[in-house]
Amino acid sequence: MPTLTKLYTMQEAAQHNTKDDCWIVIDGKVYDVTSYLDEHPGGDDVVLESTGKDATDDFEDAGHSKSAKVLLQSFCIGELDTSSPIIPELEISSKKEAVKYSEKLMDLTKQYWTIPVAIVGISVVVGFLYLHKK
Protein backbone atom coordinates (compact mmCIF):
# COMPACT_ATOMS: atom_id res chain seq x y z
CA MET A 1 0.00 0.00 0.00
CA PRO A 2 1.52 3.37 -0.98
CA THR A 3 2.22 5.87 1.72
CA LEU A 4 0.43 9.18 1.59
CA THR A 5 2.66 12.21 1.71
CA LYS A 6 1.85 15.88 1.79
CA LEU A 7 1.99 17.67 -1.55
CA TYR A 8 3.61 21.09 -1.82
CA THR A 9 3.67 23.47 -4.74
CA MET A 10 6.90 25.03 -5.89
CA GLN A 11 5.48 28.36 -4.75
CA GLU A 12 5.03 27.01 -1.21
CA ALA A 13 8.53 25.58 -1.16
CA ALA A 14 10.00 28.82 -2.52
CA GLN A 15 8.62 30.80 0.41
CA HIS A 16 10.92 28.89 2.76
CA ASN A 17 14.20 30.44 1.66
CA THR A 18 15.90 31.79 4.78
CA LYS A 19 18.41 30.41 7.24
CA ASP A 20 15.65 30.11 9.82
CA ASP A 21 13.27 28.32 7.44
CA CYS A 22 14.85 26.50 4.49
CA TRP A 23 13.19 24.02 2.14
CA ILE A 24 14.70 22.54 -0.99
CA VAL A 25 13.22 20.44 -3.79
CA ILE A 26 15.22 17.47 -5.09
CA ASP A 27 13.92 14.73 -7.39
CA GLY A 28 10.32 15.80 -6.85
CA LYS A 29 10.54 15.65 -3.06
CA VAL A 30 10.45 18.56 -0.63
CA TYR A 31 12.98 18.65 2.21
CA ASP A 32 13.05 20.90 5.26
CA VAL A 33 16.80 21.24 5.82
CA THR A 34 16.64 24.15 8.26
CA SER A 35 18.12 22.17 11.14
CA TYR A 36 20.99 20.91 8.97
CA LEU A 37 22.19 24.23 7.54
CA ASP A 38 24.82 24.83 10.22
CA GLU A 39 26.18 21.29 9.78
CA HIS A 40 26.30 21.32 5.97
CA PRO A 41 29.95 20.83 4.92
CA GLY A 42 29.63 23.25 2.00
CA GLY A 43 28.12 25.98 4.15
CA ASP A 44 24.57 27.21 4.45
CA ASP A 45 24.87 29.69 1.58
CA VAL A 46 25.23 26.85 -0.94
CA VAL A 47 21.94 25.35 0.22
CA LEU A 48 20.19 28.71 0.40
CA GLU A 49 21.10 29.38 -3.24
CA SER A 50 19.17 26.25 -4.21
CA THR A 51 15.86 27.32 -2.68
CA GLY A 52 12.92 28.34 -4.85
CA LYS A 53 13.83 26.03 -7.71
CA ASP A 54 14.40 22.37 -8.49
CA ALA A 55 17.78 21.73 -6.86
CA THR A 56 18.24 18.21 -8.28
CA ASP A 57 21.03 19.22 -10.67
CA ASP A 58 22.80 21.26 -8.00
CA PHE A 59 22.63 18.31 -5.59
CA GLU A 60 23.87 15.79 -8.15
CA ASP A 61 26.62 18.08 -9.49
CA ALA A 62 28.04 18.45 -5.97
CA GLY A 63 28.83 14.71 -5.94
CA HIS A 64 27.11 13.86 -2.67
CA SER A 65 27.95 10.50 -1.13
CA LYS A 66 25.48 7.69 -0.51
CA SER A 67 25.43 8.56 3.18
CA ALA A 68 24.52 12.16 2.32
CA LYS A 69 21.65 10.89 0.17
CA VAL A 70 20.46 8.67 3.03
CA LEU A 71 20.71 11.60 5.45
CA LEU A 72 18.70 13.76 3.05
CA GLN A 73 15.79 11.34 3.26
CA SER A 74 15.44 12.07 6.97
CA PHE A 75 14.52 15.68 6.10
CA CYS A 76 11.78 14.76 3.62
CA ILE A 77 8.47 16.46 4.47
CA GLY A 78 6.50 15.73 1.30
CA GLU A 79 6.44 15.68 -2.46
CA LEU A 80 6.29 18.34 -5.13
CA ASP A 81 2.87 18.84 -6.67
CA THR A 82 3.75 18.57 -10.36
CA SER A 83 0.30 19.71 -11.45
CA SER A 84 1.02 23.23 -10.17
CA PRO A 85 2.67 25.77 -12.46
CA ILE A 86 6.26 26.84 -12.01
CA ILE A 87 6.71 30.14 -10.22
CA PRO A 88 5.84 32.82 -12.77
CA GLU A 89 7.75 35.49 -10.85
CA LEU A 90 11.01 33.68 -11.55
CA GLU A 91 10.34 33.64 -15.28
CA ILE A 92 9.56 37.36 -15.27
CA SER A 93 12.64 38.29 -13.27
CA SER A 94 14.91 36.19 -15.46
CA LYS A 95 13.58 38.00 -18.54
CA LYS A 96 14.23 41.36 -16.88
CA GLU A 97 17.77 40.32 -15.98
CA ALA A 98 18.43 39.25 -19.57
CA VAL A 99 17.39 42.67 -20.77
CA LYS A 100 19.62 44.36 -18.19
CA TYR A 101 22.61 42.27 -19.25
CA SER A 102 22.10 43.08 -22.90
CA GLU A 103 21.84 46.79 -22.05
CA LYS A 104 25.06 46.58 -20.05
CA LEU A 105 26.78 44.81 -22.93
CA MET A 106 25.68 47.52 -25.35
CA ASP A 107 26.96 50.20 -22.97
CA LEU A 108 30.32 48.45 -22.72
CA THR A 109 30.47 48.08 -26.48
CA LYS A 110 29.84 51.78 -26.96
CA GLN A 111 32.31 52.67 -24.25
CA TYR A 112 35.20 50.47 -25.39
CA TRP A 113 34.96 50.66 -29.17
CA THR A 114 38.40 52.22 -29.41
CA ILE A 115 40.27 49.02 -28.57
CA PRO A 116 39.04 46.98 -31.56
CA VAL A 117 39.41 49.99 -33.87
CA ALA A 118 43.00 50.49 -32.67
CA ILE A 119 43.82 46.82 -33.28
CA VAL A 120 42.42 46.97 -36.80
CA GLY A 121 44.24 50.23 -37.47
CA ILE A 122 47.59 48.86 -36.27
CA SER A 123 47.05 45.72 -38.37
CA VAL A 124 46.41 47.81 -41.47
CA VAL A 125 49.52 49.94 -40.90
CA VAL A 126 51.74 46.88 -40.26
CA GLY A 127 50.33 45.18 -43.36
CA PHE A 128 50.90 48.30 -45.46
CA LEU A 129 54.49 48.62 -44.20
CA TYR A 130 55.14 44.94 -44.88
CA LEU A 131 53.84 45.19 -48.46
CA HIS A 132 55.63 48.50 -49.04
CA LYS A 133 58.96 46.93 -47.98
CA LYS A 134 58.80 44.35 -50.77
Give the model confidence (pLDDT) of 107-116 as tens digits.
Answer: 766 667 777 8
**Per-residue pLDDT for 45 more than 70?**
yes
CA 93 to each of CA 78, 85, 87: distance values in angstroms, whole numbers, following the listed order: 28, 16, 11
Tell me the chain's radius of gyration from C-alpha atoms: 25
Question: Could you tell me the pTM of the whole model?
Answer: 0.59
- Comparing 111 with 50, the larger pLDDT belongs to 50
Enumerate the β-bridge partners of residue 8: 80
Answer yes or no: are the C-beta atoms of 50 and 59 closer than 8 Å: yes
For 93, counting Cβ atoms within 10 Å of its Cβ (0-12 exposed, 13-18 middle, 19+ buried), the class is: exposed
Which of these, 19, 66, 60, 24, lies nearest to 43 by C-alpha position? 19
Share of the chain above pLDDT 90, in %: 31
Domain 5-78, CATH among 3.40.50.720, 1.10.940.10, 3.10.120.10, 1.10.3470.10: 3.10.120.10
Provide the pLDDT for residue 78: 92
